[in-house]
Amino acid sequence: MVRKSQEWPNEGELVVGTVYKVLNYGAFAHLEEYEGKEAFIHISEVSSGWVKNIRDHVRENQKIVARVLRVNPKKGHVDVSLKRIREDQRTKKIQHWKVEQKAEKFLELAAKNIDKNLDIAYEEVGYKLMDSFGDIYAAFESAADEGETVLINEGIEETWAKTIADVALKNITPPEVQITGYLDIKTFDPEGVEIIKKALKAAESDNIEVQSVGAPRYRITVRSSDYILAEKDLKTAAKRCIDIINSSNGVGEFLRELE
- Count of C-beta atoms within a 10 Å radius of residue 188: 9
pLDDT of residue 67: 98
The dihedral sign for the CA sequence 200, 183, 225, 137: negative
Domains of the chain: 14-84 (2.40.50.140), 88-171 (1.10.150.190), 177-255 (3.30.70.1130)
CB 139 within 8 A of CB 125: no
Contacts with 164 (C-beta within 8 Å, 6 or more apart), sequence order: 106, 107, 110, 125, 139, 140, 143, 148, 151, 156
Nearest CA to 81 out of 36, 47, 53, 57 is that of: 47
CB 42 within 8 A of CB 79: yes
- Helical H segments across the chain, by residue range: 87-113, 118-121, 127-133, 136-146, 149-152, 158-171, 192-203, 227-246
Residues of the chain with pLDDT under 70: 1, 257-259
pLDDT of residue 1: 67
Q: What is the pLDDT of residues 141-192, one digit of tens each?
A: 999 989 999 999 999 999 999 999 999 999 987 777 899 999 999 998 999 9
CB 224 within 8 A of CB 232: no
Rounded distance, CA 223 to CA 27, Å? Answer: 48
0.85 cut: is pTM over it? no
pLDDT of residue 257: 65
CA atoms within 13 A on the CB side of 239: 6
Nearest CA to 259 out of 163, 167, 181 is that of: 181
